[in-house]
Structure 1
Amino acid sequence: MTNLPVSPWPDVAAELIATATGRRPADTVIKGGVWVNVHSREILPGHDIAITAGRIACVVPDAGYCTGPDTQIIEADGRYMVPGLCDAHMHIESGMLTPAEFARAVIPHGTTSMFTDPHEIANVLGLEGVRMMHDEALMQPVNIFTQMPSCAPSAPGMETTGHEITPEDVAEAMQWPGIIGLGEMMNFPGVSNADPKMLAEIAATQAVGKTVGGHYASPDLGPAFAGYLAGGPADDHEGTCEADAIARVRGGMRAMMRLGSAWYDVESQITAITEKGLDPRNFILCTDDCHSGTLVGDGHMNRVVRHAIACGCDPLVALQMATINTATHFGLEREIGSITPGRRADVILTSDLETLPVETVIARGRIVAENGECLVDCPHYDWPDAARCTVHMARDLTAEDFVVAAPDGANAVQANVIGVVENQAPTKALKFELPVTAGRVQATGEVCQIALVERHRATGGVINAFVSGFGYEGRMAMASTVAHDSHHMIVVGTDDEQMALAANRLGAVGGGITIWRDGEELALVDLPIAGLMSDAPASEVAAKADRMMQAMRDCGCTLNNAYMQHSLLALVVIPALRISDLGLVDVRSFEFIPVLESVS
């Protein structure tokens, strides 16, 4: 089935009016459903939806007067007619899929609009990588709006990326047809300190009337937060507690509450609505990061809405937070987010509002999925070799590259250790006493080694440190070229030799995720595009991801979605400790700290 872009409203307004008044038959009528109106927060039985040119012409008790012999009839059979779901903040690359395959995976779950920030590929390929993502997004049968990445690097001076994004890049991208705003402003100290580059990017976005995305990943709600609000970001998804949500909404932001593969931040914040009674129209649901296994096995925005309802949220409020609230925030209330005249005809048919089974998905007026099966083509961009050859290593690494040398004469050392927190993005700043053998610091017990291998410029650089919380046992290592946000290579392991094997494997295959134990590869997820994505079908990538997750469990890790925790260990804009190609970073102060603190 050929994908047709939805016509701009001015081009079809006369046709919509003609259908609504009965002078022109509708192209399609969804007949006999329960209208879920997210504007008035009402459930209205016995309604029809008349659709012309991919847009809603009218919603009336009986559309017989605008039904002709060639009008397609979709029987709702008394089911709820719900607006197509919107994901307000997400990174397609986190699904390990290209935009086409991501769309194919989420369409059956009822997601018809996505607001994506491709800052992962921006760190690897710069503006040209963003353009590729943007162009493939516009080819899809659903609405994929692109936010121009704002922070590559995410924290200047703390990391080195493959490419940098400049204010000039932002100004150029704001003229592209699918750019909806500026991606999350992760350099929150830069905004709070009035960094000229950050303010120039924000100004370039506001000059064209587009939305500035936020990312304030600090628990400090004092003057630094006040400065960030004054800097212009309009939303934030980094809240983890009720106080965070309240502070953001009181400050004029939209609070985005996320449920991704590993981020469970809805339950802890939704009490601002359910218990404190704040206006729910200023709250939005999103996923942020979902890997392919979650998309195939558990769902997408339908999963988030169900979770919000399970946390005590009224179903209609939960649906508002995944539809009209998002559309309004991005200035698209007249285009998407509700079942009302003039909007794109994006509709879900479901038999239950609480469990939200997605039975039929209609996008731009045609059926795109039924009973979990995608029925439309999701075209692929022709990704060039430059996007497929991005893992640049100066040489094969050896076990010696992963040695942490102890000071002369030391029997033990106290080390600063990154502490992983299950189901949350922040880490802890821990201290452990570690033994020394033959001049080498030994990972022991719950502490593993972590290394960041430079992969953009083939410098041969390796930074070593320690991490706690994965629970790995035996001689193993896990390596990934998905390493938010700079996307070098992260290697975590208990054995130097296994770490070298894992790193060299990714250099050979052009990127991805691999797990090794006792000299044998247990799992490989090959991600040839920018070392971040595969253009294989989501089901194939999900199957490989499932084997990867099982291999992590086989090596002793019991964390929920531990892969997501692994991939964020270099994210130098979320406290407390992170690793970068320049050293160990204390994100609370944005300073480098020594891996080894004292000797005994």
Structure 2
Amino acid sequence: MENALFPNWPDVAPRLIAVGAGREPADLVIRNGIWVNVHSREALPGYSIAVAEGRIASVAADLSHAIGPQTEVIDAKGRYMLPGLCDAHMHIESGMLTPAEFARAVIPHGTTSMFTDPHEIANVLGLDGVRMMHDEALMQPVNIFTQMPSCAPSAPGLETTGMEITPEDVVEAMAWPGIVGLGEMMNFPGVAAADPKMLAEIAATQVAGKTVGGHYASPDLGSAFAAYVAGGPADDHEGTCEADAIARVRQGMRSMMRLGSAWYDVETQITAVTEKGLDPRNFILCTDDCHSGTLVNDGHMNRVVRHAISCGCDPLIAIQMATINTATHFGLEREIGSIAPGRRADVILTSDLTKLPIEQVFARGRLVAEDGKIRVDCPHLEWPDTARNTVHLGKDLTSSNFEIPAPDGANSVRANVIGVVENQAPTQALKADLPVRDGLVEGESGVCQIALVERHRATGGVTNAFVSGFGYTGNMAMASTVAHDSHHMIVVGTDRSQMALAANRLAEVGGGITIFRDGEELALVELPIAGLMSDSPATEVAAKAQKMVDAMQACGCQLNNAYMQHSLLALVVIPELRISDLGLVDVRSFQKIPLLEPQS
């Protein structure tokens, strides 16, 4: 496959130098703009940009000598010219879209570079799935860099994935043209304990001279954190407060502050820069997880930058955090992240540096979006049947599969309950006294049932537990084959028969999200590729996702973007309490715990 991310420099350099020296005309000149220089943190009026071979040849006040008969000239009309935005850590699958459709959705928002970790599909399809994501990423008109997933399973011994990633897989992937590093190292206890498999993956990445991504989801900033950093991870996006951000940069990591569809971790951490005055070059903005509705209706990295500015960050610093800081972190400062000679001509024109309307977007010297409309094609991979037939329950489920028997003679029981926290990835480990009816434990008072349904190997296995915080009422159930990171099927409901209906429906359509109430399907988002993504346009997926949100609200859930909380209930590397195919997991101790407390 042609490597669009890294073209042969000897083929490009002679003409780029000739245009920069004034010996040849440019392909494109953007003139009369305000140059947002992220190297010097300045906004310099009256500058022009000369582009050749998709790269910047020169930035100067007068580039009339670079304009020839065939040169395309764009008048910036005094607008700001800033680098294309970079998302430093994200999962394309969370958008419910393929790489092509994700690119189509975010290009009009000014995102021209993405650093993606396809560990969602890795859990379902293994290295083959990663290669499919990588290959479609290389086909796009913008820069989609792939990080090789590191942890499938994320917590060995506590979950069973569809496929596993091995150190040998990592070694192989490091030679692929679009791989820029190792995806987030979620098994932080394994790294701190010097687990040989984790260290082998890190070593393979370091030998290749690439970046090791971090994921340290623990409040312990003592010796365990020091051990984790010593093991090699170079960044972290799991911080939720100022102390987290400060600890990471003091220990030589980059602090990645995220604003996703449901993760609001910028405002609580950016005070490390705005109030404490720490060096902003070690802070990076990212999204982590954005679903299609957010992308279509609210934006992508432009949304994150605007949010950082609204939190008191200087606009030029916020732009640095979404451009040059990211490029430098991944060793790509000479390629992307700034408007300077030799870099790719990824440029945004905007009339306001604070409100950041994205008026024109150029990628590799080509106009790719204008006034919110995409102007280029985003080619699709031909996804094989093996990627479209991944939901295997082994049998039709009935309400009996979701029954939780009580101890003999019990009228009530004390249960361990997963507590959902609005706008955050962590959950709470709660306890609740629940009633027993006809020998079965029932939810009540805001506590409803959760089940993990095995869907990779057709075992017919169902793990049952309880969750609180969604606020559901009536006879309903919501099921999803997006269940980070093992991506079995998560079913949450107040009625066991509705839970069975929802689970069987997703097996019928090959994966996705559905909501049932009183036997009626209120919403369905089909995700036929690995049970995670749709290759339909983002606008269509977003419309179905909005019906899902509306249906959740109609069933009593008023949480912001509660679907994201739903999708993370099986993520056994983020505290405090999660569910897996092996049982209920206390992530504070990384041990399985019983659903029901022993009776005294």
AA aligned to 1:299 is G
Partner of 2:49: 49
Say which is worse superposed, 125-134 or 65-74, in terms of deviation: 65-74
Partner of 1:76: 76
Partner of 1:196: 196
Q: Compute the displacement of 1:111 (Å).
A: 0.1
1:3–1:173 Cα change, 3 Å:
closer
AA aligned to 2:292 is S
SS at match of 1:596: coil
Tell me whether 1:152 sits opposite 2:152 in the alignment.
Answer: yes
Partner of 2:205: 205
SS at match of 1:320: helix
Partner of 2:28: 28
In the alignment, the residues of structure 2 paired with residue 458 and residue 426 of structure 1 have an alpha-carbon distance, to the nearest angstrom, of: 30
Tell me whether 1:113 sits opposite 2:108 in the alignment.
Answer: no
Structure 1 residue ranges without an equivalent (≥5): none
In the alignment, the residues of structure 2 paired with residue 4 and residue 378 of structure 1 have an alpha-carbon distance, to the nearest angstrom, of: 13
Tell me whether 1:433 sits opposite 2:428 in the alignment.
Answer: no
Partner of 1:550: 550
Structure 2 residue ranges without an equivalent (≥5): none
In the alignment, the residues of structure 1 paired with residue 214 and residue 591 of structure 2 have an alpha-carbon distance, to the nearest angstrom, of: 22
Q: Compute the displacement of 1:9 (Å).
A: 3.1
Partner of 2:316: 316
How many aligned positions are there? 599
Q: Compute the displacement of 1:3 (Å).
A: 12
Which deviations, in whole Å up to 9, do the C-alpha atoms of 1:85-113 show, x marking residues without a partner? Answer: 00000000000000000000000000000
Tell me whether 1:167 sits opposite 2:146 in the alignment.
Answer: no
AA aligned to 2:113 is S
Partner of 2:336: 336
Q: Compute the displacement of 1:6 (Å).
A: 6.7
Which deviations, in whole Å up to 9, do the C-alpha atoms of 1:325-356 show, x marking residues without a partner? Answer: 00000000000000000000000000000000
Structure 1 residue ranges (4+ consecutive) displaced by more than 6 angstroms after TM superposition: 2-6
Residues 3 and 140 of structure 1 are in contact (CA less than 8 Å); yes or no, is this contact kept in structure 2? no
AA aligned to 1:102 is F
Residues 191 and 228 of structure 2 are in contact (CA less than 8 Å); yes or no, is this contact kept in structure 1? yes
Residues 412 and 599 of structure 1 are in contact (CA less than 8 Å); yes or no, is this contact kept in structure 2? no
AA aligned to 2:518 is D
Q: Compute the displacement of 1:445 (Å).
A: 1.4
Partner of 1:245: 245
AA aligned to 2:168 is E
In the alignment, the residues of structure 2 paired with residue 338 and residue 518 of structure 1 have an alpha-carbon distance, to the nearest angstrom, of: 55
Partner of 1:424: 424
SS at match of 1:515: strand
Residues 6 and 54 of structure 1 are in contact (CA less than 8 Å); yes or no, is this contact kept in structure 2? no
AA aligned to 1:373 is K
Partner of 2:366: 366
Which deviations, in whole Å up to 9, do the C-alpha atoms of 1:64-99 show, x marking residues without a partner? Answer: 011101100111010000100000000000000000
Partner of 1:397: 397
In the alignment, the residues of structure 1 paired with residue 237 and residue 299 of structure 2 have an alpha-carbon distance, to the nearest angstrom, of: 20
Q: How does 1:157-556 map to 2 (within 5 A)?
A: 157-556=157-556
Which deviations, in whole Å up to 9, do the C-alpha atoms of 1:22-53 show, x marking residues without a partner? Answer: 10000000011000000000000000000000
In the alignment, the residues of structure 1 paired with residue 144 and residue 444 of structure 2 have an alpha-carbon distance, to the nearest angstrom, of: 46
Which deviations, in whole Å up to 9, do the C-alpha atoms of 1:343-385 show, x marking residues without a partner? Answer: 0000000000000000000000010000000010000000000
SS at match of 1:221: coil
AA aligned to 1:297 is N
In the alignment, the residues of structure 2 paired with residue 406 and residue 461 of structure 1 have an alpha-carbon distance, to the nearest angstrom, of: 19
AA aligned to 2:429 is A
Partner of 2:87: 87
In the alignment, the residues of structure 1 paired with residue 441 and residue 184 of structure 2 have an alpha-carbon distance, to the nearest angstrom, of: 38
SS at match of 1:414: strand
AA aligned to 2:318 is A
Residues 5 and 178 of structure 2 are in contact (CA less than 8 Å); yes or no, is this contact kept in structure 1? no
Which deviations, in whole Å up to 9, do the C-alpha atoms of 1:191-246 show, x marking residues without a partner? Answer: 00000000000000000100000000000001110100110000000000000000
SS at match of 2:458: coil
AA aligned to 2:189 is P
In the alignment, the residues of structure 1 paired with residue 17 and residue 123 of structure 2 have an alpha-carbon distance, to the nearest angstrom, of: 47
In the alignment, the residues of structure 1 paired with residue 67 and residue 204 of structure 2 have an alpha-carbon distance, to the nearest angstrom, of: 47
Q: Compute the displacement of 1:393 (Å).
A: 1.0
In the alignment, the residues of structure 2 paired with residue 573 and residue 114 of structure 1 have an alpha-carbon distance, to the nearest angstrom, of: 24
In the alignment, the residues of structure 2 paired with residue 147 and residue 136 of structure 1 have an alpha-carbon distance, to the nearest angstrom, of: 14
Residues 345 and 362 of structure 1 are in contact (CA less than 8 Å); yes or no, is this contact kept in structure 2? yes
AA aligned to 2:441 is V
Partner of 1:130: 130
In the alignment, the residues of structure 1 paired with residue 598 and residue 203 of structure 2 have an alpha-carbon distance, to the nearest angstrom, of: 46
In the alignment, the residues of structure 1 paired with residue 431 and residue 525 of structure 2 have an alpha-carbon distance, to the nearest angstrom, of: 33
Tell me whether 1:67 sits opposite 2:79 in the alignment.
Answer: no
In the alignment, the residues of structure 1 paired with residue 489 and residue 5 of structure 2 have an alpha-carbon distance, to the nearest angstrom, of: 39
Residues 147 and 179 of structure 1 are in contact (CA less than 8 Å); yes or no, is this contact kept in structure 2? yes
Partner of 1:571: 571
Q: Compute the displacement of 1:281 (Å).
A: 0.2
In the alignment, the residues of structure 1 paired with residue 598 and residue 347 of structure 2 have an alpha-carbon distance, to the nearest angstrom, of: 61
Partner of 1:591: 591
Which deviations, in whole Å up to 9, do the C-alpha atoms of 1:552-579 show, x marking residues without a partner? Answer: 0000000000000000000000000000
SS at match of 1:218: coil
SS at match of 1:514: strand
AA aligned to 2:340 is T
Residues 191 and 198 of structure 2 are in contact (CA less than 8 Å); yes or no, is this contact kept in structure 1? yes
In the alignment, the residues of structure 2 paired with residue 526 and residue 20 of structure 1 have an alpha-carbon distance, to the nearest angstrom, of: 50
Residues 4 and 138 of structure 2 are in contact (CA less than 8 Å); yes or no, is this contact kept in structure 1? no
Partner of 1:99: 99
In the alignment, the residues of structure 1 paired with residue 174 and residue 41 of structure 2 have an alpha-carbon distance, to the nearest angstrom, of: 34
SS at match of 2:502: helix
Q: Compute the displacement of 1:598 (Å).
A: 3.6
Question: Could you tell me the percent identity over the aligned residues?
Answer: 80
Residues 7 and 53 of structure 1 are in contact (CA less than 8 Å); yes or no, is this contact kept in structure 2? no
SS at match of 1:524: strand
In the alignment, the residues of structure 1 paired with residue 470 and residue 33 of structure 2 have an alpha-carbon distance, to the nearest angstrom, of: 49
AA aligned to 1:579 is I
AA aligned to 2:188 is F
Residues 167 and 197 of structure 2 are in contact (CA less than 8 Å); yes or no, is this contact kept in structure 1? yes
Which deviations, in whole Å up to 9, do the C-alpha atoms of 1:297-320 show, x marking residues without a partner? Answer: 000000000000000000000000
In the alignment, the residues of structure 2 paired with residue 485 and residue 18 of structure 1 have an alpha-carbon distance, to the nearest angstrom, of: 50
Q: Compute the displacement of 1:4 (Å).
A: 7.0
1:434–1:494 Cα change, 3 Å:
same
